[in-house]
Amino acid sequence: MTIGVDDDESAFSRLEDNKGLAELWLRICGRLKGEVGEVEYRTWLTQIALGPIDGDEITLLLPTRFLRDWVRSQYGDRLNELWHNEVPALRRVELQVARPGDPAPLQLAEVAASPVGSPSAPEEQNPATKPVAEVRSDLVTALDSRFTFDTFVVGKPNEFAYACARRVAEKPSSVGFNPLFLYGGVGLGKTHLMHAIGAELVRSGNVSVAYMSAEKFMYRFIAAIRSQSTIEFKEQLRSVDVLMIDDLQFLIGKDNTQEEFFHTFNALVDAGRQIVVSADKSPSDLSGLEDRLRTRLGCGMVADIHATTFELRISILEAKAAASGVVVPAKVLEFLAHKITSNVRELEGALNRLIAHANLFGRPVTLEATQDVLHDILKAHDRRVTIEEIQKKVAEHWNIRLTDMSSARRARNVARPRQVAMYLAKQLTSRSLPEIGRKFGNRDHTTVMHAVNRVTELMERDAAFAEDVELMRRMLES
Ligand code: ADP
Ligand code: MG
């Protein structure tokens, strides 16, 4: 490797004669690798190419803006120090995005094999073979065998999503909609349904399936960039019949990955592959995702998993209790279904604890034992906040009179806190909209509904406001 240096004053000219720049860089890389560890090093640092030296400044090149920013923020100072230690005259390391025609990254393995190679260069650094195998094994994440259609309890809130998932699992080649977009709050069964699709497809054979979280997708994508195997990565994705990406909301704010996902998505759909995606909100509510991606996501079947009903909670508890082999009296199940309404995950957690307790001590499950064993969980769900309390706290926080909660005044500084109070009343109590309206100066239920929507909308748009409301909520909950 040669670097043209015709300026005697340049820092490079002060290097000792027999030290190649490549060797020097290799040593720095070895140090860095020792400091940050193998995985981090491979993920972020192997893509750095050596750029020109200009006076007391050396330029390092990275293939994308994203990588440049990341390396700059995480390793910039350290790179500066390391270079400066090697060549004291070098005062600055500049990180730039490589342009076409710029030198390629110096491959550690190549250098290691060449005469300038340093003994510290690790042998397993062979980018030509290693990453590909990784992509392959990471593509098919192990499916959780507990999450099947058989163990998924169907009820009103999830029957549509369930039917759509079944459809994908049964006829992946002629589903009739693409993608399937599953959405709903945490712990309501999105991941369960995706794994169930996967399990069913694997069971029926001759269909290949890939499942990964959006986070994993991003990680794989970045790893593919750094090992220059994005083409292989895409081809592997394209080689599966059904691709499932979980928790897509993770991509919000990750513009490069979104962009890549968008292209992959289009390519797969064009190639006739089926895609299943999950998120915590509907495509139109996923603000922060690129418009064209949202539009594309909304083009298939959008299936909402609603909050559980009492009936569904009972059915789920019955099914899980039966599977455990421990006898749990109906009264206890009803009690739990009444008390723990947030989501299935928490409900399941509570039941599991009861069952473990019963197994451990060999005692029958009773209502009394339940209250005892689940003391802490129940307490957390037992906050009975009243509307009066909410009004009082909110009025205090925004410095308005308590009477203004029910007054007819419509000035913004009064109306907004009033709307927040209505919103919190809806969130934290089990009161109906008309009941809430009555407590706020006999307002109509549509006014309450409007308040709830308005506050939700504002919270999405205004982070400071959202934080304020969240703070109120936490204060009221504790
Ligand atoms: P999400 O991905 O929507 O956050 P999960 O799929 O991880 O939720 O579900 C949380 C837990 O609740 C899992 O253990 C899952 O098996 C269970 N669960 C959710 N919905 C159901 C259901 N309808 N029937 C049985 N178990 C369910
Ligand atoms: Mg999930």
Q: Which ligand is nearest to the CA of 151?
A: 1
115 band by pLDDT with thresholds 50, 70 and 90:
very low
By mean pLDDT, which of 314-318, 323-327, 376-380 is the weakest? Answer: 376-380
pLDDT of residue 18: 35
pLDDT of residue 127: 35
Average pLDDT over residues 235-245: 87
144 band by pLDDT with thresholds 50, 70 and 90:
confident
pLDDT of residue 39: 66
* The three-state (H, E, C) secondary structure of the chain, written as one string: CCCCCCCCCCHHHHCCCCCCHHHHHHHHHHHHHHHHCHHHHHHHHCCCEEEEEECCEEEEEECCHHHHHHHHHHHHHHHHHHHHHHCCCCCEEEEEECCCCCCCCCCHHHHHHCCCCCCCCCCCCCCCCHHHHHHHHHHECCCCCCCCCCCCCCCHHHHHHHHHHHHHHHCCCCCCCCCEEEECCCCCCHHHHHHHHHHHHHHHCCCCEEEEEHHHHHHHHHHHHHCCCHHHHHHHHHCCCEEEEECHHHHCCCHHHHHHHHHHHHHHHHCCCEEEEEECCCHHHCECECHHHHHHHCCCEEEECCCCCHHHHHHHHHHHHHHHCCCCCHHHHHHHHHHCCCCHHHHHHHHHHHHHHHHHHCCCCCHHHHHHHCHHHHHHHCCCCCHHHHHHHHHHHCCCCHHHHCCCCCCHHHHHHHHHHHHHHHHHCCCCHHHHHHHCCCCCHHHHHHHHHHHHHHHHHCHHHHHHHHHHHHHHHC
Q: Which ligand is nearest to the CA of 183?
A: 1
Report how far ligand 2's centroid is from the alpha carbon of 458 (Å): 26
By mean pLDDT, which of 80-84, 159-163, 247-251 is the weakest? Answer: 80-84
pLDDT digit string, tens, across residues 1-59: 333 333 333 444 444 333 467 778 888 888 888 888 776 777 678 778 888 777 788 88
Would you say residue 155 has pLDDT above 50? yes
The protein residue with its alpha carbon nearest to ligand 1, atom 21, reads 189
Percent of residues, the chain, with pLDDT higher than 90: 45
pLDDT of residue 99: 82
313 band by pLDDT with thresholds 50, 70 and 90:
very high
Report how far ligand 1's centroid is from the alpha carbon of 189 (Å): 3
Average pLDDT over residues 386-398: 92
Report how far ligand 2's centroid is from the alpha carbon of 313 (Å): 18
pTM for the model: 0.59
By mean pLDDT, which of 49-53, 59-63, 113-117, 408-412 is the weakest? Answer: 113-117
Q: Which ligand is nearest to the CA of 307?
A: 1
Name every protein residue with a CB atom under 6 angstroms from any ligand 1 atom.
147, 151-153, 158, 184, 186-192, 316, 344-345, 348
Report how far ligand 1's centroid is from the alpha carbon of 354 (Å): 18
Average pLDDT over residues 320-348: 92
Report how far ligand 1's centroid is from the alpha carbon of 260 (Å): 29
Q: Which of 151, 190, 345 to mutate to test the pocket of ligand 1 (most atoms within 8 A of CB)?
A: 345
Would you say residue 266 has pLDDT above 50? yes
More confident residue, 273 or 87: 273
pLDDT of residue 113: 28
pLDDT of residue 383: 60
pLDDT digit string, tens, across residues 101-110: 777 665 443 3
